[in-house]
Amino acid sequence: MTSVILYTDGACSGNPGPGGWGFIMEHPESGKRLARSGGEVQTTNNRMELMAVIEGLSALKQPCRVEVVSDSAYVLNGLSSWMKSWKANGWRRREGKTWKEVKNVDLWQRLDELMKIHSLQFTKIKGHAGHPQNEECDRMAVEESRRFK
């Protein structure tokens, strides 16, 4: 199985507001690299963080081992631990004494489908700390968000 590294970031100007996402995919064996970005007119930062991962995984043409590198605790915690209990509870989460639908459930369900194809591992990095690929993903995401102003 091919191994790749997927760097992702999202940005939002206002929350909600115009947003953007960016990803860089690297194949260490060949040195090949793919970078893409996009955005939405009215969104949230968390949705853009999720879209970066979705778009990156969707760009793969075959099942792969993917190291997802992100500065988003929301995305990484959701993928590595929260999603299992959300699914078991019908995509709901406890809020006090009541059950509420998981926020961004449409995107989490898309990620759930992609996780059935690819084998994922997760690496959390600190944002805006000089990590070259993270900084580039951030620049792409911010640039996309500015297209909607």
Catalytic residues, by residue number, are 9-10, 49, 71, 128, 138
Residue 71, phi then psi, degrees to nearest 5:
-100, 5
Segments of the chain assigned E as strands? 2-12, 17-27, 32-43, 64-70, 92-95, 98-101, 119-124
Residue for token pair 């929260």: 82
Q: Where are the beta strands (DSSP E) in 44-135?
A: 64-70, 92-95, 98-101, 119-124
Q: What is the phi/psi pair of residue 75, to 5°?
A: -65, -50
